[in-house]
Amino acid sequence: MKLTVFGATGGIGQEVVKQALAAGHEVTAVVRDPARFSVTGERLEVFRGDLGDPESLRRAVAGRDAVLSGLGARKKADAGIATELTRSVLKAMEAEGVRRLLVVSAGPVGPQPADSPFADRVMMKLVGSILKAVYVDLAAMEAELAASATDWTSVRPPRLQDKPLTGSYRTVVGGFPRSGRFISRADVAHAMLAMVDDPATVKQGVGVAY
């Protein structure tokens, strides 16, 4: 497949690029600063893009089978950036008639299991309070997705870890794995790539966790 990856210099974005290349896909990695991007490969194109200018992103998505995005706030001060940047990606995709889009959101944005243990519910509320602005941003991003013409999937992980790929995790379409507290960035990337051609995940939020 021909894939475009936004947020390619981030932890999940880099993993998406590496794993996609290893699987034999053609990848366009969209970055602000190519000097910060160290991944190489025969089927890799590094595209320097202005994420605030949808028109300039059209060439990066034209003719692609799917777009995967790791764009989002890396700290509370960046809250709002996920919605703003994803809106640019959506405009570029819609202008080029590209439909498949997968983005990274967060577990607390979606519904929680009805039978979640009390400790999990308390922890979720605490985290939601601390990172409220970030989750409000991600919820707004998901609203943009729902209003778009794309075949979107919002991947919702819990706390992220910098640990190796295992390929062993749980996913729940429209929900979240019970007591799912952690997952590695590498496994989130793996899950995203596995969902690209999975029709059950289209126009759905998907919880993913160990």
What average pLDDT does the segment 144-160 reach? 97
Pairing of strands 170-173, 204-209: antiparallel
Confidence band of 133 (pLDDT split at 50, 70, 90): confident
Q: Which residue has the tokens 């210099």?
A: 9
Is the pLDDT at 138 greater than 70? The verdict is yes
pLDDT per position as a tens digit, 49-100: 999 899 999 999 999 999 999 998 665 556 678 999 999 999 999 999 999 9
Instruction: Evaluate the CA torsion angle 73, 152, 178, 11 in order and state its sign.
Output: negative
Nearest Cα neighbor of 147 from 94, 207, 98 is: 94
The larger pLDDT score, comparing residue 129 to residue 30, is at 30
Paired tokens of 192:
């995203």
What average pLDDT does the segment 22-41 reach? 95
**What span, in angstroms and rounded, lies between the C-alpha atoms of 171 and 156?**
9
What average pLDDT does the segment 171-198 reach? 97
Confidence band of 197 (pLDDT split at 50, 70, 90): very high
What residue segments make up the domains of the chain, in order of their start? 2-209
Q: Which residue has the tokens 């981030």?
A: 10
Return the pLDDT at 76.
58
Return the pLDDT at 74.
63
Return the pLDDT at 124.
72
HEC sequence for 28-71: EEEECCHHHCCCCCCCEEEEECCCCCHHHHHHHHCCCCEEEECC
Return the pLDDT at 75.
58
What average pLDDT does the segment 150-161 reach? 97
Is the pLDDT at 193 greater than 90? The verdict is yes
Which CATH number does 2-209 carry? 3.40.50.720
Confidence band of 153 (pLDDT split at 50, 70, 90): very high
Return the pLDDT at 31.
94
What average pLDDT does the segment 18-44 reach? 95
Q: What's the Cα-to-Cα distance from 17 to each of 9, 84, 128, rounded to whole Å?
A: 9, 23, 30
What average pLDDT does the segment 176-194 reach? 97
Return the pLDDT at 191.
98
Return the pLDDT at 39.
96
pLDDT per position as a tens digit, 110-125: 988 888 887 777 777 7
Is the pLDDT at 171 greater than 60? The verdict is yes
